[in-house]
Amino acid sequence: MKQPIYQRTVADLLEALQVTEQGLSEQQVQERLVKQGKNVLNQQQTSSLLQKFLAQFKDFMIIVLLVAALIAGMTGEVVDAIIILVVVVLNAVFGVFQEAKAEEAINALKEMSAPNASVRRGGEIVTVKSEDLVPGDVVLLEAGDIIPADLRLIEVASLKVEESALTGESVPVDKSADQLDTADLAIGDRTNMAFMNSNVTYGRATGLVVATGMQTEVGRIAGMIEAADETTTPLQANLTQLGKSLTILILIIAAIVFGMGMWRQTESLVDMLLTAISLAVAAIPEGLPAIVTITLALGTQRMAKRHAIVRKLPAVETLGSTDIIASDKTGTLTQNKMTVEKVYRNLQLVDAHKQHFQQTDRLAQVMILSNDTKVTTEGLTGDPTETALVQYQLDQDFSVDQLLSAMPRVGEIPFDSERKLMTTVHPLADGRYLIAVKGAPDELLKRVTQIELKDAVYPLETSTREQILNTNHDMATQALRVLAFAYRIVPDVPTDLTSATTEQDLIFAGLVGMIDPERPEVEQAVADAKSAGIRALMITGDHRDTAAAIATRLGIIDKGETDAVITGAELDDMDDATFAKRVGDFAVYARVAPEHKVRIVNAWQRHGKVVAMTGDGVNDAPALKAADIGIGMGITGTEVSKGASDMILADDNFSTIVVAVEEGRKVFANIQKAIQYLLSANLGEVLTLFMMTMLGWQILAPVHILWINLVTDTLPAIALGIEPMEKNIMRQPPRGRQSNFFSGGVLTGILYQGLLEGVITLGVYWFAITYPVHSAANLAHADALTMAFATLGLIQLFHAFNSKSIHGSLFTVGLFKNKFFNWAILIAFGLLAATILIPGLNGMFHVTHLDGHQWATVLVASFLMVVIVEIVKFFQRRVLK
């Protein structure tokens, strides 16, 4: 097995790459460019607007509707064909509009790359385009640089690199040029490596290019994004299955009706063909794609107002079925900025906000003076750990500018990763000098001989030293990054400013514990997710103890629940089958790599769970794409993570996810209501025609069915899509991947409600024939057909009120809360009544005027639908309890 780069010596690598520290020759560069190619990531091909538009017509339901429109047009039903085509085109336009908003993830990765690099070639330092780098190039780095390729560091001077977008760690990593002996190190532990697209925050270094383009760690992630399959959302799967089932059923019924009509010879061949086609067109819920699209689009608007921006419409509904939210920690659960949380002073550990400093306090002075933070008019700049110390004192109303002016730096020993200390020298008012030291507690305490307690200095006893170390350990287990502070007062600036001469006989001043704090709203959001039956997971590049402590604070795991924490290295020891069996045991994943995140998502998906993955870094992109719904961060997120996401949080607020889940559940519930309404109404129409044909009665004409379908399948159904949210929607468990639009009693409702509509309509027709107002047979039949037509239309409008809730009573969900619904019913009723009441129109529709008794019969019969369904719902609720 080939030895990892970080385990190899610099000399070995220089020899292997056939280069010296003076760099490559121009000839070598050109040869390697031809062989290796440019230092760029693969450009992902993007489809044109026309291609995106045409892609919308691949949906099975859309294909069925296009066929129906073709048949309707060929048989003379031009109006219905036009209506169907308009619906289909609008649906495609909505889809293209949403998908055209975002940039592609791979192309965004390219935009992140450094444009130029400083390299040593042939002994001379030159600036070249980053895309022209090749393996073996010697790159010079300094603070502020974007690292242009994967480098093995060969010379380091206090280098710190911010790798949070790649590793998930919020704190810049200290780098060194030392060879590492440990095998299988996570990216964040490869301290002698610097990775493409990371940022240098401090220090200088020289590095040897060991990988370019798609061979880099970022390139590997780009390849994972490119290779990831697009997941089919539950909504898309449900609609496809619904379309197939309906098509088969409709064709069978239409064929039976046509066959029975021809066998009875009550109608001509052309009339029965038109009737069968109109029945098929009427039975297909042609408004469903538009209703789904409009409901989703309105959902996206509501979510955008609440800071959740949806890139793909089906993602709205997918959120509603989410079982698992796998969240990146840095910048998502936490604020991605270091904050002072605890202060240990005078042998007492207190919350930072309870500790107040005077201008003369040595601990406060050391925190500010042994610090490279720059105080500018635009804020603080520098290492996040150091800026946190200064910001803390500014928040304490400490006069930082005054201290820096009174005690300027006159000497320093910069931080390095070996001794883990930083020291600065400053003049005091009495002519002496203050040596201010900060660093790792265990290293600093080796150089401490005294301790300051309440402004007095005492010798440091062994027991006291142990107490400090124990406190340091306790703070570390709470996910705090601990720094120790000490000082020494000397008469003169040491002539030989070295660690041996300066960092000795120090006076201990205190410890400070810092943390990348959790977002204040996240704990409640996690609790809300739990109450909704959704499991929250935390996935991070941080160390195990840090990850466990943060997860405990957020309520993701209980205190002491260490078995629920697993590292990337432990995950590597499991094969996919074993991990899939045990995936439910883990809630926190620490020190993970990008491929681990994809494995986590896939393992849950193998259990049939709908997985949402949040993230903001480049390292999150493959998992964001693999998840059922990828959620990117709008503020701190990289363009790569945004491009791979289905939804973006504009405020980076984890609680917005819970809001989005709530909205997704509402969207699904409303689409389900619309489907129950549409299919039960259409079933009522089909059964009415079928039974009239079977009984040999004069059947409703195609124009009757198509007009009822047009009036009742549009505005009322769309209005159901924007119904207000029902109570306790977030206290129900997720419906899961296996559920569909017919789950939860919807199929039963469609069947009995459709049958009920058909029976009531047929009953009105029978009553009108049996007890005619006119003695003439032709007038009696005309009146009966008119009453059946009015009943079939009106009963569906009454049934729309039933459909405001699948199981809830009409009187508890609110009769008139939805103003658009009320107007939709009134307009639909007006259009239906106009065909009977307005002279001229009734002739076109072959209907007659009805008298008061006939209208009363129609109204009473139609209202029976509300009464019967309410009774059934009452008993359903009793059973569900």
d(CA 540, CA 548): 10
Report yes or no: 135 and 16 within 8 Å, Cβ to Cβ: no
**Which residues, listed in sequence order, are joined to residue 458 by a DSSP beta bridge?**
451
Query: Which residue, chain included where needed, has tokens 């508890």?
Result: 812
d(CA 815, CA 830): 20
349 DSSP 8-state letter = E
Would you put residue 46 in left (φ > 0), alpha (ψ -120 to 50) or beta? beta
Query: Angle at the Cα of 322 (from 311 to 522), degrees rounded to 5?
Result: 85
For residue 119, what are its two tokens? 């390299």
How many C-alpha atoms does 497 have within 13 Å on its Cβ side? 13
Query: Which residue, chain included where needed, has tokens 């008993």?
Result: 875
d(CA 211, CA 136): 9
Report yes or no: 195 and 166 within 8 Å, Cβ to Cβ: yes
Q: What is the DSSP string of 122-167?
A: TTEEEEEEGGG--TT-EEEEETTPBP-SEEEEEEEEEEEEE-HHHH
Report yes or no: 766 and 797 within 8 Å, Cβ to Cβ: no
d(CA 380, CA 366): 18
Residue 437 CB: number of other CB atoms within 10 A? 27
Would you put residue 851 in left (φ > 0), alpha (ψ -120 to 50) or beta? beta
- Residues forming the active site: 328
For residue 758, what are its two tokens? 């058909």
Report yes or no: 25 and 122 within 8 Å, Cβ to Cβ: yes
* Helix, coil or strand: residue 400: helix
**Which residues, listed in sequence order, are joined to residue 209 by a DSSP beta bridge?**
151
Report yes or no: 344 and 694 within 8 Å, Cβ to Cβ: no
Query: Distance from first CA to last CA of the chain, Å, rounded?
Result: 62
Report yes or no: 363 and 357 within 8 Å, Cβ to Cβ: yes
For residue 489, what are its two tokens? 């007062």
Report yes or no: 425 and 435 within 8 Å, Cβ to Cβ: yes
| Dihedral sign from CA coordinates of 61, 67, 69, 75 | negative
For residue 734, what are its two tokens? 């997720």
**Which residues, listed in sequence order, are joined to residue 179 by a DSSP beta bridge?**
none
**Which residues, listed in sequence order, are joined to residue 176 by a DSSP beta bridge?**
none
Report yes or no: 835 and 703 within 8 Å, Cβ to Cβ: no
Amino acid at 192: N
Residue 401 CB: number of other CB atoms within 10 A? 10
Query: Which residue, chain included where needed, has tokens 């870094």?
Result: 617
Chain centroid offset of residue 204 CA:
37
Report yes or no: 423 and 433 within 8 Å, Cβ to Cβ: no
d(CA 749, CA 869): 9
Closest by CA to 518, choosing from 329, 324, 307, is 329
d(CA 513, CA 546): 13
The bridge status of strand 339-345 relative to strand 173-174 is unpaired
